[in-house]
Amino acid sequence: MPRIMGIDIPGRKRIGYSLRYIYGIGPARAEEIIAKLGIDPALRADDLSSEQITAIAGLLQEQYTVEGDLRRETQSNIRRLISIGSYRGMRHRRGLPVRGQRTKTNARTRKGGKRTIGSVRGKEARAAAKAALKK
C-alpha cells in the first residue's frame, strides 16, 4: 500500500483509481497526473517504483492544492461567507442546503434525521384525553 501525501492509497487498484483516494483528486486530475509523469495507466499502485511515488508526491506539492491545504481553504471560504452574513453563509450556519435545493421534503443529509414536533402519545394517553373531553 503506497503512501502519498500522508494517505495510504489502495495498492491493488490501478493507479488512476488509487490516486482518487487523495482529497482534491478526481478522475480528470488523476489522468492528468499520470499523463504528465508518463506512468503507464494500467499499472497497479503496488507496482509503482519509489521514484514514481516521489515524482507523484512532488508534482502534487508543486502544482496542486490537495488534502489538508484544500480542506483548510474550503473551511476558510465557508467561515468568510458566514462572517460577512451572505445568504450562503446563513444557510451554512443553519445547516440547510446552500445551493437552492428544496427543504420541505428531502434535504435530510443537511438537516439530519426527522424531528417530530408536538407530543407523541400512546393509546392509554389518547383514551384518557378522549374521556376527559367527554366529561
Q: Assess if residue 69 is contained within a domain.
A: no
Domain CATH for 130: 4.10.910.10
How far is the CA of 124 from the CAs of 21, 105, 120, 127, in angstroms? 54, 32, 12, 5
Q: Which amino acid is at 134?
A: K
Of the candidates 4, 13, 2, 14, the one whose C-alpha atom is nearest the C-alpha of residue 59 is: 4
Low-confidence spans in the chain with pLDDT less than 50: none
pTM equals: 0.76
Domain with 104, as residue range(s), is: 74-135
Cβ atoms within 10 Å of 8's Cβ, excluding its own: 12
Query: Is 101 in the same domain as 49?
Result: no
pLDDT at res. 71: 95
Are 81 and 131 found together in one domain? yes
Shared domain check, 28 and 82: no
What is residue 63's predicted lDDT score, i.e. its pLDDT?
95
Closest to 64 in 3D by CA, of 76, 53, 56, 52: 56
Of the three residues 40, 63, 86, the one that is the final residue of a domain is 63
Say if residue 127 is in the same domain as residue 79: yes
- Examine residue 15 and state whether it is found in any structural domain, yes or no: yes
Give the total number of structural domains in the chain: 2
Question: Residue with C-alpha cell 407530543?
Answer: 119
Q: Are residues 135 and 83 in the same domain?
A: yes
